Amino acid sequence: MKFIAEASDKRLPCYRVLNDDGSLVSNTIHDQLGEEVAVNMYSAMVTLKTMDTFLYEAQRQGRISFYMTTFGEEAINIASAAALSPHDFVLPQYREAGVLLWRGFTVQECTNQCFGNKDDKGKGRQMPVHYGSNKHNVITISSPLATQISQAAGVAYSLKMDKRGACAVAYTGEGATSEGDFHAGLNFAAVMEAPVIFICRNNGWAISTPVHEQFRSDGIVAKGLGYGIRSIRVDGNDVIAVYNAVRAARNMAISEERPILVEAMTYRVGHHSTSDDSTKYRPTNEIEYWKTARSPIAIFRKYIQRNGWWSDDQESELYRDVKKQVLEAIKTAEGMEKPALTELFSDVYEQMPPNLHEQERSIRDAINKYPKDYPTDFHV
């Protein structure tokens, strides 16, 4: 009689292509990035970081109600998005704004959503950073953790039945793997052989809960093995490694009709959200190390500079242009009127029931009675 050991002393390997100085790791198998794609990916990462910086500050100034940044996780966003097809369906968690940007969702559309104005695709009904776009095959973000994982398994199975030649992609943090939906979603995808990629951003922290207090397994990649899912661990701060891993995962998911789990190891440099102060539960020198020495943007910049694809002049011009673009988008979004009151009740019933008619009448009466309690640009 022999019991299987609860854990191995040897950790599962992590796929890596770039050293921190931008040089290539010796004897690593990977597809090279061309100059145009590499420069576009770097520009998108800088755009994402800049947008995060100014929208975070806008929340601190009381101009929007909430915000979440992707600081330190820009490589996972952009590199994974670049490895996918526009026909693949993306189900994000809430730290994947870069995936939308790569697919053509504009900075202006992001800021419209955060300010909840009349051009917000969600008509002002969602919290900030809860993006979605039917045009770009991105399912709207919802706050409850892990709901997108089981949904992605269903979306993927539908794509398989319709022979669409595409896959579903669900993003999640490692904290959400403690939710029941994670296990149900992976098991369903494995049994039904659904073409779905589960991308887990293992950034070390589920708000204030560190990884070692969340589970005893060797990260997330080991969980995939338990469900019979082909899995890989990758350096999430390495653009080329993430790109190659997700690209290979996509090919396998579609051609072999199977789920794939990708664990991207990274670090959440920013606070969990604007409702959090992470310096209360982790040392500032730890944050600073990951912000500087292991910054995915800095590492990838060194790589494209080594190849002669980037210069200091281009760097200055990019940051100047992106800053102008983001600030103009915020100014436009903030100055735009809010959605009409009628949008609060539309898009649910074909014919609005009497109880909602009564609620709408009650709100209108309150606005007319107490006009000073409502914004001047609020349209009844």
In the block, which residue shows the tokens 């019933």? 349
Q: Is 313 exposed, middle or buried (0-12, 13-18, 19+ CB in 10 A)?
A: exposed
Residue 88, classed as helix, strand or coil, is coil
Bridge partner list, 338: none
Phi first, then psi, for residue 233 (nearest 5°) are -105, 135
Task: Report which residue type is found at 180.
Answer: G
What is residue 377's DSSP assignment?
A: T
* Residue 367 token pair: 């606005």
Angle at the Cα of 309 from the Cα atoms of 303 and 310, rounded to 5 degrees: 80
Q: Which residues contact 313 (CB under 8 A, 6 or more apart)?
A: none
Residues annotated as catalytic (active site), given as ranges: 57, 143, 272-273
Q: Does residue 99 contact residue 171 with C-beta atoms inside 8 Å? A: yes
| Complete DSSP assignment for 158-172 | HHHHTT-S--EEEEE
* Residue 72 token pair: 């330190």
What is residue 23's DSSP assignment?
A: P
Closest CA to 215 of 156, 266, 173, 278: 173
In the block, which residue shows the tokens 């968690």? 93
In the block, which residue shows the tokens 């098991």? 187
Q: Which residues contact 6 (CB under 8 A, 6 or more apart)?
A: 216
